[in-house]
Amino acid sequence: MTAAQKLVYRQGVARTTLAHIAEAADVPVGNVYYYFKTKDDIVDAVVQTQARQIESTLADFERRHRTPKARLKALVRFLAEQADATAQYGCPHGSLSTELAKHAHGSRAQLMQIQLDWAHRQFHAMGRRDAHDLAVDLLVGYQGSAVLTNALGQPELMSRQSRRLEKWIDSLEGNRHD
């Protein structure tokens, strides 16, 4: 699973074969076929693995940070720490979601939805009636910078945008509807 996840991230679903996964995992290709009958089975498993990783990371932010603002800023800092990999390969969740959307894959929105729902809950806990819109703005800010960071190969873009997002989060007050 780890080999499949790395390959899908680095080269995309379309360019990843079961033979590539077997080679990267250093197992016979028959072993891969035993667990995954089709490439779609592997893609589904990669999405589910990433979904569990996202949920685990977000749960960790919930445990370590008392306030919603602190949790949101922890997410932004976490994403900024991935700037070098993002510059080389793009956002693992955004890239996969975009690729799956091109093929109308059933789980195409799952990874983004987990993050949207979590951010919505954080903004709502801050007393924001526009929590959904703010959650979308946060993900748009991150994903847009991830695309640009990857396209230009400039990790500093991600770092700069992350600092801007943290300042934006700090500027938000509760009970607003704008």
- Give the number of domains in the chain: 1
Note the Cα 39 to chain centre separation in Å: 21
Measured distance CA(93)–CA(113) in Å, rounded:
11
Domain range enclosing 132: 48-171
Backbone angles phi and psi of 2, in degrees to 5: -60, -45
Q: What is the pLDDT along the chain (178 residues), one digit of tens a residue?
A: 889 999 998 888 888 888 899 999 999 988 888 888 888 888 889 999 999 999 999 999 999 999 999 999 999 999 999 999 999 999 988 888 888 888 766 666 889 999 999 999 999 999 999 999 999 999 999 999 999 999 999 999 999 999 999 999 999 976 554 4
- CATH number of the domain where residue 134 is located: 1.10.357.10
Q: The pTM is what?
A: 0.87
Q: Which of 65, 81, 76, 90 is nearest to 9 (CA)?
A: 90
**Residue 7 domain-assigned (yes or no):** no
